[in-house]
Chains A and B, each alone.
Chain A
Amino acid sequence: MDQVPEPTWVLLTYKIPREPTASRAYVWRKLKRLGALLMHDAVWVLPATPWTREQLQWLVVEIGELGGEAQLWESRLLLNGQADTLVNQFEARVNTAYQEILDDLEQDNADLVTLSRKYQQVRTQDYFQSELGQLVRARLMNARGGFAS
C-alpha cells in the first residue's frame, strides 16, 4: 500500500438509470465493499493503489453495461492538511469496525469463526494499516484457546 506523505486518490463519479433499483444497489454495494468514501453525495474516493485502480476501472465498465456512465479520476489534494483529514476518515471507519470485533471478543462464547471472517473483510478496507487491526489480529489468535502460546 502506498504509505507516502502525499497520497494520491482515485475518484469515481457516475450516473445510473433510476430503474431497475437492483442496478443502483449493485454499484452502491460494490463501492461499500471496496471501502470507498462518498464525498458530498457526489464523488466516491479511494486511496490510489494498483488494486483500487483496477477494481474501479472494472466498475466503470460494469456501470456502462448497466446503462449508466462513469468517470474515473486520479488526483491529489492541494490544500495543507486535507489529505490527513481524509486519511483519518478512512482510518476512523475501519477502526469502528475493528472496535466492534474487539467488543464482541469480550463476550462469553464469542463466535470466533464469524469474527475472524469479519476481521478479514475489514482488513481488505484497511488501506492505511490501522494499529487497531494488529490488536484485533493478536486477540483473535489468543482467543482460540486450548493451548497456551
Chain B
Amino acid sequence: MKWVTWEQVGVDRMACAWLITKYIDPQAEFLFVPAGYKPLPEGAEPFDIPGVRLSHHRGHCTFHAMLREYDLHDPVLERIARVVDEADTVQDVTLEPAATGLDLICRGIRQVSLNDLLALERGSLIYDALYAQFASETNQR
C-alpha cells in the first residue's frame, strides 16, 4: 500500500518508514508532499503530518503512535520509541543520551541523500543497528 508524509524526512519519519517496512507493510511505497500541502493524495495512508491518525499525540512522536495503532508490543521497539521521542520532541525527562546524536545523524543522512526515498532507505540501516544493539542489551539482563 501507499504511505505519504511531508518532504525533508528526519528522525521520526525515518523510524516510522523502517517500522512500516519491517513490521506493517513489506511492500510499502512512500510518497512525499511539501510541508503543508493539501489535499493529500487519495488512497495513501498519511503519517507524521499534523492532525492525522499516525502523528504526534500527547507529547509523543509518530513512531510511538504507530506502535500503539498497530499493536506492536516489543520492549526493544518501545525503547526506540523513547529515543525518538527524546530526539524529536521537547521532553522534561531525558533518559536516552543516544537521542541527540540520532537526531543529528538522521538530519545529516537527509542532507547527503539526493531525495527523501533514498534517505529513508539509508536510515533503515541506522534503525536496524539500533534495534540489534538494544536487543543485545535487553538479552544480557
Among A29, A57, A58, A120, which residue has its beta carbon within 8 angstroms of that of B92? Answer: A29
Q: Within 8 Å of chain B (Cβ to Cβ): is A11?
A: no
Instruction: Give the shortest distance, in Å, between B52 (CB) and chain A (any CB).
Output: 10
Given contacts A61-B56, A62-B58, A62-B59, contact A55 B50 (CB under 8 A): no
Q: Within 8 Å of chain B (Cβ to Cβ): is A60?
A: yes
Q: Within 8 Å of chain A (Cβ to Cβ): is B34?
A: no
Cβ–Cβ contact B55 & A61, under 8 A: yes
Sample 9 A-B pairs with CB under 8 A, ordered by A number. A30-B90, A33-B92, A50-B8, A57-B50, A58-B50, A58-B89, A61-B51, A62-B57, A65-B58
- Chain A, Cβ-Cβ closest to B36: A57
Chain A residues within 8 Å of B51, by CB:
61
- Which of A55, A61, A65 neighbours the largest number of chain B CB atoms within 10 Å of its CB? A61
Q: Within 8 Å of chain B (Cβ to Cβ): is A73?
A: no
Among A29, A30, A50, A60, which residue has its beta carbon within 8 angstroms of that of B50? Answer: A60
Among B50, B56, B59, B100, which residue has its beta carbon within 8 angstroms of that of A26? Answer: B59
Chain A residues within 8 Å of B89, by CB:
55, 58
B35-86 at interface with A (beta carbon < 8 Å): 50-51, 55-59
- Chain B, Cβ-Cβ closest to A34: B90
A7-49 at interface with B (beta carbon < 8 Å): 26, 29-30, 33-34
Cβ–Cβ contact A61 & B50, under 8 A: yes
- Which of A34, A50, A62 neighbours the largest number of chain B CB atoms within 10 Å of its CB? A62
- Chain B, Cβ-Cβ closest to A55: B90
Provide the bound-state CA to CA distance between A26 and B50, in Å: 19
Provide the bound-state CA to CA distance between A65 and B60, in Å: 12
Provide the bound-state CA to CA distance between A123 and B51, in Å: 30
- Chain B, Cβ-Cβ closest to A58: B56
Contact with B along A77-121 (1 / 0, CB 8 A): 000000000000000000000000000000000000000000010
Provide the bound-state CA to CA distance between A33 and B90, in Å: 7
